[in-house]
Amino acid sequence: MPAPPQRRQPARQADGQVTYDFVEPVVFALLSIGLIAGGVAVVMLSRITAAALLMAFTFLSMAGMFVLLGAETIALFQVLIYVGAITVLILYGVMFTKFSDRPRALFFQRQTPFAAVFVAAVAIPVAIIALSFTSPTPRPGGGDLIPLATSVFTDFAFPFEIASVLLLAAMIGAIVLTKRDEPEEAAARRRR
């Protein structure tokens, strides 16, 4: 008979030794508050630079969430790509465009009761469905680098190569879209 899955120890064992099982829910609650508050701030703030920096904070909280789930490699990629690359790219976009200070398009402003009804009708079933998911068996610990690399380079090798082609196409597209006109093209445009 296989051994039953090991139960978590209670918070205080019989010999008085304190375990740290309460740390995970506390960290989860803090990261959830950071995620939700950061997301709301990105949507609500009218200063776009502050919104971009709070988006970076949201991405960092998400990396912490990945660490809490035991996916350290994904968290590393999250910090590298989202916090490192995408935030910097968006900050450059903010700096290159003169943003206007127009208020948000509050098109729900006159329809607040209808909007509340709609949000409740969507959010309550979503919350019920989401809370109905339970994990069957606790996973054993350990990093995710080796299974991740095994999956990427065996079963998903072809999509991986396709993703590299997509990145190349996006890079060329971004260069072509933002390239300045050649001098002769500008001269031709001036002659017209």
* Residues in 14-43 at the binding interface with other proteins, rule: CB under 8 A: 21-22, 24-25, 28, 32, 35-36, 39-40, 42-43
Alpha carbons 63 and 74: distance in angstroms, whole number: 8
Minimum distance of other proteins from residue 3's CB (angstroms): 18
Task: Evaluate the CA torsion angle 156, 61, 130, 114 in order and state its sign.
Answer: negative
When the beta carbons of 117 and 171 are compared against other proteins, the nearer one is: 171
Q: Is 171 in the site for other proteins (CB under 8 A)?
A: yes
Question: Binding-site residue total for other proteins (CB under 8 A)?
Answer: 83
What residues from 63 to 82 belong to the interface with other proteins (CB under 8 A)?
Answer: 65-66, 68-71, 73-74, 77-78, 81-82
Q: Is 96 in the site for other proteins (CB under 8 A)?
A: yes
What residues from 147 to 166 belong to the interface with other proteins (CB under 8 A)?
Answer: 147-148, 150-152, 155-156, 159, 163, 166
Q: Is 84 in the site for other proteins (CB under 8 A)?
A: no
Minimum distance of other proteins from residue 192's CB (angstroms): 16
- Confirm if 83 and 63 have CB atoms less than 8 A apart: yes
- Token readout for 98 is 């003169």
What's the residue count for the chain?
192
Q: Which amino acid is at 141?
A: G
Alpha carbons 71 and 145: distance in angstroms, whole number: 8
Among 11, 50, 187, 188, which residue sits at the site for other proteins (rule: CB under 8 A)?
Answer: 11
The number of angstroms, rounded, from the C-alpha of 72 to the middle of its chain's C-alpha atoms is 15
Minimum distance of other proteins from residue 110's CB (angstroms): 14
What residues from 105 to 124 belong to the interface with other proteins (CB under 8 A)?
Answer: 105-108, 122-123
When the beta carbons of 158 and 184 are compared against other proteins, the nearer one is: 158
Radius of gyration of the chain (CA): 24
Alpha carbons 50 and 53: distance in angstroms, whole number: 5
Biggest CA–CA distance in the chain, Å, is 90
